[in-house]
C-alpha cells in the first residue's frame, strides 16, 4: 500500500475591485497596449482598504472546504504560502485557523515568494506521507498591491491580489504513476540571484519596502529553470511530456508561459492561462489557476498536471499530480 496526497477540494477568492490597464495611464507613462504586449495582462484585482491577506485566504479556504464537503475541524493543518502576511507575527495561517473556527491541529506560513505554493504543496505532501496529518488545507494568498512602487511602471502594472486553496487528503494508492494525487516534487533555490527580484525593506533593515525587479534577468532565468524543473519532476514521476494533460504554471507573464511551454514541447492548448485576468498574484497564482481551470471545465478528475513556479530567492520548483 502507498499513501498519496490527493486533492479533495479546490477554491479561490478575488477582491471585488478590478483594475484595468487603462487605470494606470493617468499616472504613468504607459498604456493598455504596452502592458498587454509585454506581459499579457489585461486586468487585475486589488484588495480593498483594510482587507488583508488572511481575509482573502479565509474566503478561498471556505470555498475549498465547501468543494470538499468538509468542515474546518476535519482539517489537521493549514499551510499558507505568502510573502505579504498581515503582520510580522503571528502567522497569517493562524489567523485563518481562528477565522474558520478551527480549534485543533496546527497552522503556519511558508515564504518562497512566487514559488511559495509549490513549496507549500511539497510540505503538505511530506506531512501526509509521514503520517503527521491526514487532511491539510494548502493556501496561496497575497496582497502585492501593498508593496508596489506606484512610480515604477516596469513593476506596478504586473501584480494583483487574490487567494486560492486546495484540500489535500491522504488516500491509498497502488504506488505507480496511475495513482491520483501528488506523484513527484522537485525544489530548488539559488541565493546568488537574490538581487534580481526582491523587496527593499524588512523588519531587520528598515520597514516594509517596495518590490524591485530586473525584468530581463528574471525572464532569462525563468524560462530555463521552469522547463528544467518540470522535466525533473516528470522524470521523478516516471512520466514523459506526452502523458501531461495540463501545465498549470505560475502566472507571471504570458511570454514566459509561452516560452516555457515551447521549451517543454507542449502546445498552449495544454496550458491553463489566467494571467490576463489576475496579473501576477505570486504564491496565489497557481491555486487560483487550478480553481479557475476546474471552474472552466478544463481540469478533470484523472488529468495529469504539472505545476511550476519561480520567485525571488531565486526559488523554483515543480509538482506533478494526477487530479
Known active-site residue 206: no
Spell out the SS3 assignment of the chain: CEEEEEEEEEEEECCCEEEEHHHHHHCCCCCHHHHHHHHCCCEEEECCCCCCHHHHHHHHHHHHHHHHCCCHHHCCEEEEECCCCCCCCCCHHHHHHHHHCCCCCEEEEECCHHHHHHHHHHHHHHHHHHCCCCEEEEEEEEEHHHHCCCCCHHHHCCECEEEEEEEEEEEEECCCCCCCEEEEEEEEECHHHHHHEEECCCCCCCCCCCEEECHHHHHHHHHHHHHHHHHHHHHHHCCCHHHCCEEEECCCCHHHHHHHHHHHCCCHHHECCCHHHHCECHHHHHHHHHHHHHHHCCCCCCCEEEEEEEECCCEEEEEEEEC
Q: How far apart are CA 274 and CA 255, in angstroms?
A: 13
Residue 20's closest CA among 31, 28, 29, 11?
A: 31
Cell numbers standing for residue 281: 498574484
> From the candidates 114, 125, 193, 278, which is the catalytic residue?
114
Known active-site residue 280: yes
> From the candidates 125, 193, 221, 250, which is the catalytic residue?
250
Known active-site residue 250: yes
Q: Residue 34: which residues within 8 A CB-CB, separation 6 or more?
A: none
> From the candidates 21, 123, 253, 280, which is the catalytic residue?
280
Q: Which are the catalytic amino acids?
A: 114, 250, 280
Amino acid at each position: 500500500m502507498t499513501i498519496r496526497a490527493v486533492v479533495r477540494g479546490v477554491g479561490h477568492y478575488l477582491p471585488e475591485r478590478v483594475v484595468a490597464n487603462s487605470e494606470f495611464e493617468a499616472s504613468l507613462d504607459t498604456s493598455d497596449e504596452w502592458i498587454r504586449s509585454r506581459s499579457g495582462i489585461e486586468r487585475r484585482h486589488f484588495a480593498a482598504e483594510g482587507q488583508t491577506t488572511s481575509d482573502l485566504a479565509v474566503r478561498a479556504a471556505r470555498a475549498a472546504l465547501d468543494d470538499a464537503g468538509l468542515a474546518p475541524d476535519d482539517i489537521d493543518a493549514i499551510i499558507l504560502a505568502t510573502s505579504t502576511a498581515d503582520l510580522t507575527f503571528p502567522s497569517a495561517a493562524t489567523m485563518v485557523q481562528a477565522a474558520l473556527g478551527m480549534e485543533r491541529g496546527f497552522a503556519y506560513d511558508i515564504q518562497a515568494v512566487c514559488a511559495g505554493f509549490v513549496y507549500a504543496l511539497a510540505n503538505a505532501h511530506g506531512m501526509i506521507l509521514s503520517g503527521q496529518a491526514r487532511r491539510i488545507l494548502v493556501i496561496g494568498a497575497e496582497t502585492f498591491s501593498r508593496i508596489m512602487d506606484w512610480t515604477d511602471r516596469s513593476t506596478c502594472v504586473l501584480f494583483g491580489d487574490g487567494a486560492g486553496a486546495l484540500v489535500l487528503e491522504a488516500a491509498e494508492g497502488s504506488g505507480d504513476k496511475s495513482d491520483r494525487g501528488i506523484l513527484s516534487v522537485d525544489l530548488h533555490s539559488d541565493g546568488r540571484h537574490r538581487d534580481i527580484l526582491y523587496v527593499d525593506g524588512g523588519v531587520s533593515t528598515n520597514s516594509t519596502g517596495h518590490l524591485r525587479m530586473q525584468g530581463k534577468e528574471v525572464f532569462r532565468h525563468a524560462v530555463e529553470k521552469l522547463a528544467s524543473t518540470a522535466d525533473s519532476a516528470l522524470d521523478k514521476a516516471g512520466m514523459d511530456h506526452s502523458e501531461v494533460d495540463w501545465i498549470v504554471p505560475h502566472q507571471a507573464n504570458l511570454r514566459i508561459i509561452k516560452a516555457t511551454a515551447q521549451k517543454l514541447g507542449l502546445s498552449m492548448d495544454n496550458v491553463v492561462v489566467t494571467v490576463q485576468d489576475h496579473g501576477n498574484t505570486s504564491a496565489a497564482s497557481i491555486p487560483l489557476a487550478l480553481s479557475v481551470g476546474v471552474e472552466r471545465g478544463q481540469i478533470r478528475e484523472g488529468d495529469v498536471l504539472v505545476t511550476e513556479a519561480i520567485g525571488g530567492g531565486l526559488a523554483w520548483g515543480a509538482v506533478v499530480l494526477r487530479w
